[in-house]
């Protein structure tokens, strides 16, 4: 068992903070939240109404049943001199409280059934988004436009996780912010295909009113039609390992024209990334980009300081791989290590990102190899490994 | 084994010959149902505290945003082991302990039908428990994929995987043997005149539970064995890359898992159905409909399993089927609640600690039932699934449901078991502390879930701080309050006011005709049971 470093001290230091947060944040908008969001899609609105309907039926039944019970508790007690009756059976009562609940249940089942039928109807979409769950990030593919990217927990949130003294309060949307948000058009029927690369994840944005598992080897589908522009946040909802709590989802809904402009921007950026791989990069450029790639792709396991997790995950700082033979290091990153949680990053990162990452890992955390890795070197390594 | 074994002229003489052997070996070699019942209950109490320690760790980590105490991997180990230990180590053995103590003395049998197997089924448990808990100290740590053990995630575990699987196998074997023993005892060893429909309701609920155990536990054994071969022998039952299906595990697991849920609640129904009439001084209302409702719930438990997995992407027809069957469970469960309320109606109630726990059970279990009904509504479940709303729901049915019934049952029968009355004032303190804190602990979790907090996360966004702080404070108070429970139990074992044979004025049934504490062997000569002194 290994706990967080300085565990108890850190916990105790945060105590007054937690208590004051709880007492002060009464005025903040999202605090002390009690109920489901109504959401911004037709489905989320129907689901909210259904939820409230069932809730009120339950409350009503509760008031009646508990009311009778508490009346009895107050008046039918021995200390008031109440004598026990001797009845112990009534066919009429038994039939009544079997039949009446059945009728109530049928009343609940009808709107539930119609809603469910509507939710499962993914036909005739205007566009399709494919979502792939990874440990621990999401990949988004816009099937019609060929736009592809990965979405990670924002570095600011990641840095705040182990801090003491309220940086979680200061981090913008702590744990609910990503580096690359999904952008979707408003008022379009978007079909979302869900799958996973490693273990089961679940894609959930409460305000869209849908949640579905992303299962390796299978494709699930849901649909949504966002009616209001805005930013909607969610999280992975199926336990998927160590960083299950750290793979948020951010959906930005934009009107059609703005959405089209964003798509064009993405396409252009992807084209630029391809030409960037052809030129020589300087050391500061590589180190700066490498740090960013490291923070999103590696720090989840190996930690921001490169120290890893004792007994679980090897450190990068001073590791034989990151200070040894470059080709071997590249091989591990491109292909992963079978039988461990070290995944292959060959398809996930492009040549520039890998070159920057290699340069960063081999020169940061005291790994003073002095190596400078260019995108071309990565491209060659890919070819060699492909043999 | 015949109900009449040896013939003796008087009780004192018989006790002299058949008292327990002295020393530690009494407990190791015992085949006596009372000793084994005590062992089961003490084992469950120990596990309750180990599982409770893990729960305290979870609530401490969730007390504030950021990670302070547990790294994410250790947090996942805590949640998984908390679930496994509470389900298989605390709740289930506690009910088997009740069955061992109570079934023979409630049906007028001298002992359990298969006493040597009874010894074995208990003594498997500590070893299974050690096997499971030892994984915490292995490289890579304990299982961290939740008590539901879903692949592919669970197969990423390190050394703990085979230990987890064999521990589950052992726990399953123990349960199956216990269940066989209970069925054989109830069907063969009832005293003359103790017809099936004269049996106390606790015996009925356990008879039905035992059949559920025999049907469900082998299914779990099959599921974990497939995990074992997937991990170590190259099969691909649950590996899509090899032609398998990870969702198939969930179907098999929950085909076990839903009956398992009722295995943990039906005996609780039984205990509450014993306590309420005793303190209402009025017979249980609708005895026969209670039996039929229990049987209906047991039947339905086999055709609702996929409501635990509405989000895996089932066909529409499947989702509708499981939604309807799940909603249907509300009917027999409602019948039980209405019968309990009708039992209280126009009674002559007093409110000793067991009664307080029984009333709290009816109210809080019903709240858990309401959230269960909400979860049954598939379209709404898409929002609730895998959030703290679910955590709140199943803790309402398992803590304020099953555990409250167990604690109430302990207070109810402790005078019979020990021969001493517990301290009523302390018992009431224990109840009110537990009752208030458990609601502070779990009720806000409904809000957290609805507001969007997923379950099984070690850290959360700052919008969830407030209710987490409240919930953690409730958790710490609830945890500490249980130390009082242990103190009360051990004080009662050591001494206290002498308990009369019929410890409670309104208590009916064969066990109250025996001395308190009962002699080591009871009902060696079967009693004659008439309509009048059958179930209350």
- CATH number at A332 reads 1.10.760.10
Burial class of residue A54 in the structure, from the number of CB atoms within 10 Å of its CB (0-12 exposed, 13-18 middle, 19+ buried):
buried
Contact indicator for B379, A115 with CB cutoff of 8 Å: yes
Q: Which range of residues forms the domain containing residue A365? A: 277-386
pLDDT at B119: 96
Contact indicator for B408, B354 with CB cutoff of 8 Å: yes
- A286 shares its domain with A248: no
- A132 shares its domain with A244: yes
Residue A276 has pLDDT above 50, yes or no: yes
Whether residue B211 lies within 8 A of chain A, CB to CB, comes out as no
Q: Name every chain B residue with its beta carbon within 8 A of the beta carbon of A101.
A: 330-331, 334
Side-chain-facing half-sphere of A71: CA atoms under 13 Å: 10
Burial class of residue B2 in the structure, from the number of CB atoms within 10 Å of its CB (0-12 exposed, 13-18 middle, 19+ buried):
exposed
CA-based nearest distance A365→chain B, Å:
22
Task: Say how many C-beta atoms besides its own lie within 10 A of residue A248's C-beta.
Answer: 25
- A227 shares its domain with A139: yes
Q: Which residue of A has its CA nearest to B231?
A: A339
- Establish if A235 belongs to a structural domain: yes
- A238 shares its domain with A141: yes
Whether residue A168 lies within 8 A of chain B, CB to CB, comes out as yes
Whether residue A7 lies within 8 A of chain B, CB to CB, comes out as yes
- Establish if A13 belongs to a structural domain: no
Contact indicator for A243, A299 with CB cutoff of 8 Å: no
Q: Omega before B297 cis (within 30°)?
A: no
- A108 shares its domain with A192: no
- Establish if A376 belongs to a structural domain: yes
- A329 shares its domain with A231: no
Contact indicator for B261, B213 with CB cutoff of 8 Å: no
**A–B interface: beta-carbon pairs under 8 A:** 343
Question: HEC string of B257-279?
Answer: HHHHHHHCCHHHHHHHHHHHHHH
Give the pair of three-digit tokens for residue B369: 């039932």
Query: Across the interface, do B374 and A234 touch by the CB < 8 Å criterion?
Result: no
Of B153, B334, B344, the CB nearest to A101: B334
Q: What is the mean pLDDT of residues A171-184?
A: 89
- A328 shares its domain with A353: yes
- Establish if A265 belongs to a structural domain: no
Q: Which of B54, B115, B40 is nearest to B85 (CA)?
A: B54
Q: Which of A14, A22, A62 to mutate to test the interface with B (most CBs of B within 10 A)?
A: A22
- A291 shares its domain with A382: yes
- Establish if A22 belongs to a structural domain: no
Active-site residue numbers of B? Answer: 82, 111, 147, 174-175, 258, 260, 262, 273, 307-308, 333, 336, 455
Domain final residue pick, A205, A226, A256:
A256
Q: Which residue of A has its CA nearest to B314?
A: A220
Domain final residue pick, A256, A291, A307:
A256
Domain final residue pick, A193, A225, A256:
A256
Q: What is the CATH number of the domain that holds A247?
A: 2.60.40.420
CA distance B233 to B235: 6
Total tally of structural domains belonging to chain A: 3
Q: What is the pLDDT along chain B (536 residues), one digit of tens a residue?
A: 344 444 444 444 444 456 777 888 889 999 999 999 999 999 999 999 999 999 999 999 999 888 889 989 999 999 999 999 999 999 999 999 999 999 999 999 999 999 999 999 999 999 999 999 999 999 889 999 999 999 999 999 889 999 999 999 999 999 999 999 999 999 999 999 999 999 999 999 999 999 999 999 999 999 999 999 999 999 999 999 899 999 999 999 999 999 999 999 999 999 999 999 999 999 999 999 999 999 999 999 999 999 999 999 999 999 999 999 999 999 999 999 999 999 999 999 999 999 999 999 999 999 999 999 999 999 999 999 999 999 999 999 999 999 999 999 999 999 999 999 999 999 999 999 999 999 999 999 999 999 999 999 999 998 899 999 999 999 999 999 999 999 999 999 998 899 999 999 999 999 999 999 999 999 999 998 887 666 54
Whether residue B346 lies within 8 A of chain A, CB to CB, comes out as yes
Cβ partners under 8 Å of residue B9, min gap 6: none
- A158 shares its domain with A249: yes
- Establish if A29 belongs to a structural domain: no
- A62 shares its domain with A101: yes
A31 or B86, which is more confident?
A: B86
- Establish if A363 belongs to a structural domain: yes
Whether residue B473 lies within 8 A of chain A, CB to CB, comes out as no
- Establish if A1 belongs to a structural domain: no
- A281 shares its domain with A381: yes
Q: Name every chain B residue with its beta carbon within 8 A of the beta carbon of A236.
A: 454
- A116 shares its domain with A135: no
CA distance B467 to B439: 12
Q: ipTM of the assembly?
A: 0.90
Q: Which residue of B has its CA nearest to A30?
A: B463
Whether residue B283 lies within 8 A of chain A, CB to CB, comes out as yes
pLDDT interval class at A298 (50, 70, 90): confident
CA distance B177 to B121: 6
């Amino acid at each position: 068992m290994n706990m967080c470093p300085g565990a108890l001290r850190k916990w105790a230091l945060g105590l007054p903070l937690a208590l004051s947060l709880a007492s002060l944040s009464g005025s903040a908008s999202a605090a002390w939240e009690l109920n489901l969001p109504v959401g911004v899609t037709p489905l989320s609105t129907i689901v909210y109404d259904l939820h409230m309907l069932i809730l009120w039926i339950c409350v009503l039944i509760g008031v009646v049943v508990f009311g009778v019970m508490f009346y009895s508790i107050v008046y039918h007690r021995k200390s008031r001199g109440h004598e026990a009756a001797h009845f112990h059976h009534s066919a009429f009562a038994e039939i009544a409280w079997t039949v009446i609940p059945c009728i109530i249940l049928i009343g609940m089942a009808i709107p539930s059934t119609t809603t469910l039928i509507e939710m499962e109807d993914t036909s005739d979409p205007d566009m399709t988004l494919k979502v792939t769950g990874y440990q621990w990030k999401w990949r988004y593919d816009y099937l019609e436009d060929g736009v592809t990217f990965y979405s990670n927990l924002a570095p600011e949130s990641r840095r705040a996780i182990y801090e003491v003294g309220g940086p979680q309060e200061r981090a913008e949307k702590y744990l609910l912010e990503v580096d690359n948000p999904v952008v979707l058009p408003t008022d379009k029927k978007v079909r979302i295909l869900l799958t996973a690369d490693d273990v089961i994840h679940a894609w959930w944005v409460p305000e869209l009113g849908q949640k579905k598992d992303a299962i390796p080897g299978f494709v699930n589908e849901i649909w949504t039609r966002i009616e209001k522009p805005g930013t909607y946040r969610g999280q992975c909802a199926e336990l998927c390992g160590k960083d299950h709590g750290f793979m948020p989802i951010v959906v930005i809904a934009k009107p059609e024209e703005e959405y089209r402009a964003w798509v064009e921007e993405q396409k252009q950026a992807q084209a630029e990334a391809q030409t960037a791989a052809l030129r020589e990069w300087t050391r500061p450029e590589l180190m700066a980009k490498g740090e960013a790639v490291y923070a999103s792709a590696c720090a989840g396991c190996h930690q921001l300081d490169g120290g890893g997790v004792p007994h679980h995950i090897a450190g990068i700082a001073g590791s034989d791989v990151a200070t040894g033979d470059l080709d071997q290091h590249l091989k591990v990153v491109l292909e992963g290590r079978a039988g461990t949680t070290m995944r292959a990053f060959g398809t996930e990162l492009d040549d520039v990102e890998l070159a920057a990452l290699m340069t960063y890992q081999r020169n940061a955390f005291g790994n003073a190899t002095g190596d400078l890795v260019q995108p071309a070197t990565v491209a060659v390594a890919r070819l060699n490994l492909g043999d | 084994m015949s109900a009449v074994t040896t013939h003796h002229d008087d009780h004192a003489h018989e006790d002299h010959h058949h008292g327990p052997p002295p020393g530690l070996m009494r407990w190791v070699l015992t085949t006596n149902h009372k000793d084994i019942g005590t062992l089961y209950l003490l084992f469950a109490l120990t596990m309750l505290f180990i599982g409770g320690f893990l729960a305290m760790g979870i609530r401490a980590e969730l007390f504030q945003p950021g990670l302070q105490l547990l790294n994410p991997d250790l947090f996942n180990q805590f949640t998984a082991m908390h679930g496994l230990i509470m389900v298989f180590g605390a709740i289930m053995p506690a009910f088997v302990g009740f069955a061992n103590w109570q079934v023979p003395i409630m049906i007028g049998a001298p002992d359990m039908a298969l006493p040597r197997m009874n010894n074995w089924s208990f003594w498997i448990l500590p070893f299974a428990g050690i096997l499971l808990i030892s994984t915490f100290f292995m490289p890579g740590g304990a299982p961290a994929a939740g008590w539901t053990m879903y692949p592919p995630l669970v197969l990423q575990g390190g050394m703990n995987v085979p230990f987890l699987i064999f521990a589950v196998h052992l726990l399953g074997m123990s349960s199956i043997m216990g269940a066989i023993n209970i069925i054989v005892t109830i069907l063969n060893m009832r005293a003359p005149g103790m017809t099936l429909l004269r049996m106390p309701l606790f015996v009925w609920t356990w008879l039905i539970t035992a059949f559920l155990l025999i049907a469900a536990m082998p299914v779990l054994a099959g599921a974990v064995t497939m995990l074992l071969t997937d991990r170590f022998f190259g099969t691909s039952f649950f590996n899509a890359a090899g032609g398998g299906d990870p969702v198939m595990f969930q179907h098999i697991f929950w085909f076990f898992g839903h009956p398992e849920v009722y295995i943990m609640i039906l005996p609780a129904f039984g205990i509450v159905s014993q306590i309420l009439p005793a303190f209402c001084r009025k017979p249980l209302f609708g005895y026969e409909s209670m039996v039929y409702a229990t049987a209906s719930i047991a039947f339905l438990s086999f055709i609702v399993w996929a409501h635990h997995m509405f989000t895996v992407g089932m066909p529409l027809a499947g989702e509708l089927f499981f939604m309807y069957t799940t909603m249907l469970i509300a009917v027999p469960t409602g019948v039980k609640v209405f019968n309990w309320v009708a039992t209280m109606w126009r009674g002559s109630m007093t409110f000793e600690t067991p009664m307080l726990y029984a009333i709290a059970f009816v109210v809080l279990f019903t709240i858990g039932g309401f959230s269960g009904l909400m979860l049954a509504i598939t379209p709404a479940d898409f929002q609730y699934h895998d959030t703290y709303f679910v955590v709140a729901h199943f803790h309402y049915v398992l803590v304020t449901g099953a555990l409250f019934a167990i604690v109430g049952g302990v207070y109810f029968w402790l005078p019979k078991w020990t021969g001493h009355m517990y301290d009523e004032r302390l018992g009431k303190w224990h109840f009110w502390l537990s009752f208030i804190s458990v609601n502070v602990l779990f009720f806000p979790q409904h809000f957290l879930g609805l507001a969007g907090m997923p379950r099984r996360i070690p850290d959360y966004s700052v919008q969830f701080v407030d209710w987490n702080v409240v919930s953690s404070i409730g958790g710490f108070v609830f945890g500490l309050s249980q130390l009082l429970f242990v103190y009360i139990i051990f004080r009662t074992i050591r001494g206290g006011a002498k308990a009369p044979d019929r410890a409670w004025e309104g208590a009916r049934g064969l066990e109250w005709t025996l001395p308190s504490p009962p002699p080591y062997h009871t009902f060696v000569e079967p009693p004659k049971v008439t309509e009048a002194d059958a179930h209350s």
